[in-house]
Amino acid sequence: MQRGMLTAALVAALATVLAAITPVAAAEDDTLELQDAARHGLAANIRYTEHGIPHIKAANFAGLGYGYGFAAATDNICVLADTYLTVNAQRSRYLGPDAPANDAFGPASSSLASDLHFQQINDSGVIERNLAARPPIGPRAEARELVRGYVAGYNRYLRDTGVRNISDPACRGADWVRPIAEIDVYRHFYATSLLASQAGMIDAIVSAQPPAASSATASPAVPADAAERVRAALDNRDMGSNAIAIGAAGTVNRRGLMLGNPHFPWHGARRFWQSQLTVPGRLDVSGGSLLGMPMVQIGFNRDIAWSHTVSTMTTFGFYEVRLVPGAPTTYLVDGRPERMVGRRVAVQVRNANGSISTVERTLYSTRYGPVLSPLFGLPLAWTAASAYTLRDANEGNLRGLNTWFELGRARSTKEIVDVLSRTQGVPWVNTIATDQSGRALYADVQMVPHVTDELARACSTPLGAAIFPGTGLTVLDGSRVSCAWGSDQDAVLPGIFGPSRMPVLTRADYVENSNDSAWLTNPHQPITGYPRIMGDIATARGPRTRMGITAIEQQLARGRLSRQTMQDLLFADRSFVGEIAAADAAAMCAAFPGGKAPTSGGGTVDVGRACTALSNWDRTMTLRSRGGLLFDRFAQRLGPAVWRVPFDPADPIGTPNTLNTSLPAVQQALGDAIADLQRAGIAPDAPLGAHQYVVRNGRQIGIHGGHTAQGVLNMIIGRWDPARGNTEVQHGSSHMQVVSFTGGHCPDAVTLLSYSQSSDPTSAHHADQTREFSAGRWVRSRFCERDILASPELRVVRLR
């Protein structure tokens, strides 16, 4: 018995790990050996280089997915298992209905709310219908093979390791860690496609119920601040990004140069994971992808590099439907009644005594989509007279699988535009790219409702008329067929704009985006003429956009950019708001009567050394910056109306400016910031790294960067502990890449994954890149075969 167990363990170990393979042997035999192995089943070689970055090579796409699934599960099994638990609507079954939801897929109030939402999606068959369609609606054959292999690789890891032997204590021995099927991967991808739309409305969808017979029939008044409420709700997302593409006119070697700097959560299922994916002669691409996505989503190949930034396009809209009197689940369209679809949704829940029961709820939808209960602070109540319903442009969107697969094979920025246009699978991001020839591309070709400004004017309800101009969110009259979303001939589906109507700009100097609209992608050629739903025009830009364009223009005035200058540009950690407002804030501080600053609570606080700290601050958020943390707490409290000189579209980078220190709100913001630091026992001139940090395995690691309110490109949103400062990172700089093309087959690239490859605290790669990020050291990218094989930490895992 013991001998059999030992033999099985040895076989499993030898099947997965090749302990010593020489670089020469790998170079000579790798490709041919993989081709031979693929004839007998799934096969992949995983060549690990520094920091546990896998370079996965296979003879076909199923084998490539196999290697990816195995390697991703090795690093992040608990996060991935929790993802599949969520999209399969099983959280209540294993964790209980009141357990916290997985917030990576939307801010649901409980696991029960999350399960009802995902069970409704799964019951609807929307994923299966789109899987059954031909490309570009359904996945192309290579994408299906990647998913098939990924599932086999993930399950192989579980089979070889055993749930009880998982090293990560977060899920070791958990009964919810189980093998997966292909549908689970597609459900995960679909949930990601919905992040900028219905994922943010889970509670409003699952709690919408018909009104009582005695409910109100009059429409509630439109709040005066309705647009501000919507802006606050839509801006409160934990995703952002910067991307800069420099063309031939701006680079030292007159070829393309790319900075990708997404700002995503440091924890959970929206972490990035790095890899290189190679099928010789068919695909060779390196970069990062969200966990569980077996393809590169931000990266580069030998000819192109691309990144994404979260777009301002509104990917959904609301309809108000008028109800038949006395029949709250029947609505009118052009005077004809239509019944809502009531779908009975059932989920299993674990009770306090360990028993399992079923919770059922009927959820309702119209021809447009699910019925809603109030959200965004808007009066969207389902009354006896009307109901509000969601229409989502990303409904059924699995096309992104095709988009990202084809981006990995593109050879020029022109091909990138072609891929984006043919597939229209990008769900909620801009694309910024460059290529060997030195073209810099911005393209916001994605999913957006076909609502022209004319349609919005003709069909908006009073609520819609109040919020659409300032937010791009529509509330249309659902009782008229003429108010349906329009269509374009070049669109992949009815109801959305075609790619020819969307903002695209190619330049020889540069393009830049930091989550503002397309308008000021390059200040020398503003983009105009697109409908409001795609973003605003000639409005104030955010401080990161102003910082990015300022830094690029200043560098171009000094000389052309190189890979190193681009790295330095990001990690200079300059605070744009600090540069234009810190001196005024310091002067205001010094002028407070009796050295006491007012606070929003009505009291005062001693300024102490705060005024001197602000005056001496170097206007950066580096680890050694003294005064930066104080200004960070101050800047977060500043609203848009704090400037003496207002925004001027003729000077969009220079305005607004000049802090209005006479405003009580500005004075109180500084007082509150000083009080924050005093309560935490932090000196106002303490170095940033001492009080903005993360702790990994008992070791404190200082984190440089600053809040988006400051306009720091290296954005870091800390988790403020009132007793100690920023002691964890919520989201911010994540998978970073700087790629310079050289004219050869091997791009000159560096990368950095701020939170490291593995979420498993026992892994050697749980915090190694976090320490590099803290020190400002980038990781050399090993793209070409000779560079991979030359890695001093090369370790090869063969999967057969």
Active site residue ranges: 241
Q: Which residues pair with 717 in a beta bridge?
A: 731
- SS3 (DSSP) at 485: coil
DSSP letters for 546-612: HHHHHHHHHHHHH--B-HHHHHHHHHT-B-HHHHHHHHHHHHHHHHSGGGEEE-TTS-EEE-TTHHH
Burial profile 696-706: b = 16 or more Cβ within 10 angstroms, e = fewer:
beeeeebbbbb
Q: What span, in angstroms and rounded, lies between the C-alpha atoms of 704 and 622?
A: 5
Q: What span, in angstroms and rounded, lies between the C-alpha atoms of 242 and 239?
A: 11
Count, residues in the chain: 800
Would you give the distance in Å from CA 254 to the centre of its chain?
31
520 within 8 A of 526, measured Cβ to Cβ: yes
Burial class of residue 198 in the structure, from the number of CB atoms within 10 Å of its CB (0-12 exposed, 13-18 middle, 19+ buried): buried
Would you give the distance in Å from CA 220 to the centre of its chain?
35
Burial class of residue 161 in the structure, from the number of CB atoms within 10 Å of its CB (0-12 exposed, 13-18 middle, 19+ buried): middle
Q: What span, in angstroms and rounded, lies between the C-alpha atoms of 408 and 278?
A: 10
Do the strands 272-279 and 53-57 form a parallel or antiparallel pair, or are they unpaired?
parallel
Q: Which residue has the tokens 């079954």?
A: 93
Q: What span, in angstroms and rounded, lies between the C-alpha atoms of 691 and 284?
A: 42
Question: How far apart, in Å, do the first and last CA atoms of the chain sit?
Answer: 27
Q: What span, in angstroms and rounded, lies between the C-alpha atoms of 252 and 232?
A: 42
Q: Which of 376, 404, 379, 402 is nearest to 314 (CA)?
A: 376
Q: Which residue has the tokens 């209005």?
A: 660
Name the DSSP class of 687. B
Burial profile 603-620: b = 16 or more Cβ within 10 angstroms, e = fewer:
ebbebbbbbbbbeebbbb
Q: What span, in angstroms and rounded, lies between the C-alpha atoms of 268 and 209?
A: 32
Q: What span, in angstroms and rounded, lies between the C-alpha atoms of 504 and 498?
A: 12
The residue type of 24 is V
197 within 8 A of 315, measured Cβ to Cβ: yes
684 within 8 A of 610, measured Cβ to Cβ: yes
Burial profile 435-464: b = 16 or more Cβ within 10 angstroms, e = fewer:
bbbbbbbbbbbbbbbbbeeebbeebbbebb
Neighbours of 745 (CB within 10 A): 12
Q: What span, in angstroms and rounded, lies between the C-alpha atoms of 4 and 721?
A: 53
Question: Which residues fall within 8 angstroms of residue 412, CB to CB, at 6 or more apart?
Answer: 303, 304, 435, 436, 437, 439
Would you give the distance in Å from CA 672 to the centre of its chain?
31
